[in-house]
Homo-oligomer: A and B are copies of this chain.
Amino acid sequence: MTKGRMEAFSDGVIAIIITIMVLELKVPAGEDLHALAPTIPFFLSYVMSYIYIGIYWNNHHHMLHATTRINGRILWANLHLLFWLSLVPVATHWLGETGSAPVPTALYGCVLLCAAIAYTILQTAIVRHQGPEALLSTAVGRDVKGKLSMALYVTAIPLAFVNRWASDIIYIGVALTWLVPDRRIESRIDQRT
């Protein structure tokens, strides 16, 4: 079975997710600069979510680049990941609308955590299907970065009820560490070719 259609479908869903978030950006109610002010928290939450979705697309791209074969289990693991990513826009909107209130901040972290878990499940399903000697298996290794990110989300969720800005800083911090695409896969590909 070829990975082409799974890539195409994922591209479609992620492209829509990243774009419908802009629909949440309401047109300012007025025509001067003051009318722009209430849209700023929306805009900031949009930027953060855009970067997160961009990271997922980028890493998904790299991971599937190192994938040769897929099966039904991988298709469903992929749909499971897309499910959690599809909740990012509504979580983003709630975060922006409430100016990062505790519950929306915690919920945003839950969605990020579930997406990270789903990504790990997908990665494991792919690694298992390619065999332990495959490019992806050696590139991913023990996946310290992925596990650390999940630990940080788990920390940020309860922290939102103590200090919500601390949670937001954690979300931003994790995003920044992932902005660099997964060099492990890229460098392994270079070594082999």
Query: A residues within 8 Å of B by Cβ?
Result: 1-2, 5-9, 11-20, 22-23, 25, 27-28, 31-33, 35-36, 47, 50, 54, 57-58, 61-62, 64-65, 71-72, 75-76, 79, 82-83, 86-87, 89-90, 93-94, 97-98, 101-104, 107, 179-181, 183, 186, 189
Contact = CB atoms under 8 A, between A and B. Distances in A.
B103 A31 contact: yes
B11 A19 contact: no
Given A13-B15, A19-B16, A86-B19, A5 B61 contact: yes
A145 to B, nearest CB: 15
Q: How many copies of this chain are found per oligomer?
A: 4
A26 to B, nearest CB: 8
10 closest A-B pairs (Cβ-Cβ)? A12-B15, A72-B181, A31-B101, A31-B98, A16-B19, A54-B79, A13-B15, A9-B11, A27-B93, A22-B86
Contacts of A89: 22
A102 B181 CA distance: 40
Contact of A18 (B27, B71, B86, B186): B86
B87 A22 contact: yes
21 contacts: A1-B186, A5-B11, A8-B11, A9-B15, A12-B12, A16-B19, A17-B19, A20-B20, A20-B22, A27-B93, A27-B94, A31-B98, A31-B102, A32-B103, A36-B107, A50-B79, A50-B83, A62-B72, A71-B186, A72-B180, A72-B183
